[in-house]
């Protein structure tokens, strides 16, 4: 198929990928053994069989359990290096990865351990694979803002290597406004800002993220479509939405891939990109996500080209480096 080939061949940027969500079951077992962690699964097949989710929280419960095998700097390096191999395979030449420090510091793993493990792999990825990258520190929104503020303080020595902050985890009941102060502080420190919004939460959360948190991108944003005035505002400000098709399907944000709104989003003039979110949990990396759309909603050549161009335009690469890819 020529569209599959086009997707495979095009250099792409990925803007929405949680590094802890790239932990494949095989590595989960390997690290569990290395670190003497007991897993509640008999084998790799049992892990995969458990990956059947009714909603975001169903997934998050397994996601936080899975990350308990990540303990040493080497573990974080290996995890990130494995993801970069997938990038090379998919011809992802630039990636802006999320990490969830609170998921690790809360169980006694130091911020520096997490950070340096990921960072050393990203450096190696640039040197050996030519893949450029950035790190985005995400706050867990089910925790309180004080915890996020403490995390931003802990990150202080590393901020020159962190491009921005994000907001993830359980959305409903944890609106962006809960994190106003920590996002203001992040902005004062020169950090970019992104937030998951409108994945399960209402359009109002997207509005809060844009107007209150002053984000540079919205992660997901699917439910914006319920509010035409909001869509119009997002189009007008050229706000990127980092959409994750296979995640949407697996977390029941869409009932069927054939009903995925990506084409409608494009037609409305929204600046959408395609991303894998948590590839080890949702059945695929970036190319798989594009291919799933091609098959289910008959995405065409021009649409594929637009989505890929959007991924570089919406990236946090400096203007001159972005231009090279456009
Ligand atoms: N953490 C990891 N993946 C997530 C998602 N899709 N939504 C919210 N929090 C997440
Ligand atoms: Zn996400």
- Provide the ipTM: 0.98
Residue 80 within any structural domain of the chain:
yes
Mutate to test the pocket of ligand 1, among 14, 51, 59 (most ligand atoms within 8 A of CB): 59
Q: Which residue among the candidates 96, 199, 208, 313 is catalytic per the annotation?
A: 199
Taking the C-alpha atoms of residue 185 and residue 180, their distance in angstroms, rounded to an integer, is 9
266-316 confidence digits (pLDDT tens): 999 999 999 999 999 999 999 999 999 999 999 999 999 999 999 999 999
106-133 confidence digits (pLDDT tens): 999 999 999 999 999 999 999 999 999 9
Is 325 annotated to bind ligand?
A: no
Q: Which helix (H) or strand (E) holds 65?
A: helix 56-66
Residue 323 within any structural domain of the chain:
no
Nearest ligand (C-alpha, residue 253): 1
Q: Which segments of the chain are extended strands (E)?
A: 12-18, 92-99, 132-140, 164-168, 192-197, 217-220, 240-243, 271-274
Mean pLDDT score, 236-244: 98
- Specify the residue with its C-alpha closest to ligand 1, atom 9: 169
Count structural domains, the chain: 1
Residues in the chain, overall count: 326
Residue 1: its pLDDT value, please?
84
Residue 322 within any structural domain of the chain:
no
Question: If you measure from the C-alpha of residue 279 to the centroid of ligand 1, how many angstroms do you get, rounded to a whole number?
Answer: 11
Residue 320 within any structural domain of the chain:
no
Residue 241 Cα distances to 16, 129, 265, 292, angstroms: 10, 27, 9, 18
Whether ligand 1 lies within 6 angstroms of the CB of 141 is answered as no
CA 57 to chain CA centroid, nearest Å? 16
CATH label of the domain that carries residue 84: 3.20.20.140
Domain that holds residue 25: 2-315
Residue 268 within any structural domain of the chain:
yes
Residue 325 within any structural domain of the chain:
no
Prediction pTM value: 0.98
Mutate to test the pocket of ligand 1, among 23, 60, 104 (most ligand atoms within 8 A of CB): 60
**Active-site annotation holds for 199:** yes
């Amino acid at each position: 198929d020529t569209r599959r080939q086009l997707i495979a061949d095009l250099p792409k940027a990925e803007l929405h990928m949680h590094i802890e969500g790239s932990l494949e079951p095989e590595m989960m077992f390997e690290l569990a053994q290395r670190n003497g962690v007991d897993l509640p699964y008999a084998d790799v097949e049992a892990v995969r069989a458990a990956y059947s989710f009714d909603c975001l929280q169903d997934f998050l419960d397994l996601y936080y359990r899975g990350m308990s095998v990540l303990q040493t700097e080497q573990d974080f390096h290996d995890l990130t290096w494995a993801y970069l191999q997938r990038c090379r395979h998919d011809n992802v030449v630039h990636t802006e990865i999320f990490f969830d420090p609170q998921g690790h510091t809360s169980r006694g793993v130091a911020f520096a351990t997490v950070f340096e493990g990921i960072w050393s792999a990203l450096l190696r990825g640039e040197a050996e694979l030519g893949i450029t990258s950035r790190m985005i520190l995400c706050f867990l929104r089910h925790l309180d803002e004080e915890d996020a503020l403490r995390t931003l303080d802990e990150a202080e020595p590393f901020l020159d290597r962190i491009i921005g902050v994000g907001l993830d985890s359980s959305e409903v009941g944890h609106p962006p406004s809960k994190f106003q102060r920590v996002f203001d502080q992040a902005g004062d420190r020169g950090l970019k800002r992104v937030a998951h919004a409108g994945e399960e939460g209402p359009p109002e959360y997207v509005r809060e993220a844009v107007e209150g948190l002053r984000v540079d991108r919205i992660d997901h944003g699917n439910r914006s479509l319920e509010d035409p005035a909001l869509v119009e505002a997002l189009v007008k400000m050229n706000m990127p939405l980092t959409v994750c098709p296979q995640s949407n399907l697996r977390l029941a944000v869409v009932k069927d891939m054939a009903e995925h709104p990506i084409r409608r989003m494009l037609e409305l003039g929204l600046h959408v990109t395609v991303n894998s979110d948590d590839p080890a949990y949702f059945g695929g990396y970036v190319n798989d996500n594009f291919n799933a759309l091609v098959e289910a909603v008959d995405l065409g050549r021009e649409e594929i080209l637009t989505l890929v161009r959007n991924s570089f335009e919406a990236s946090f690469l400096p203007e001159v480096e972005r231009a090279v890819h456009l």
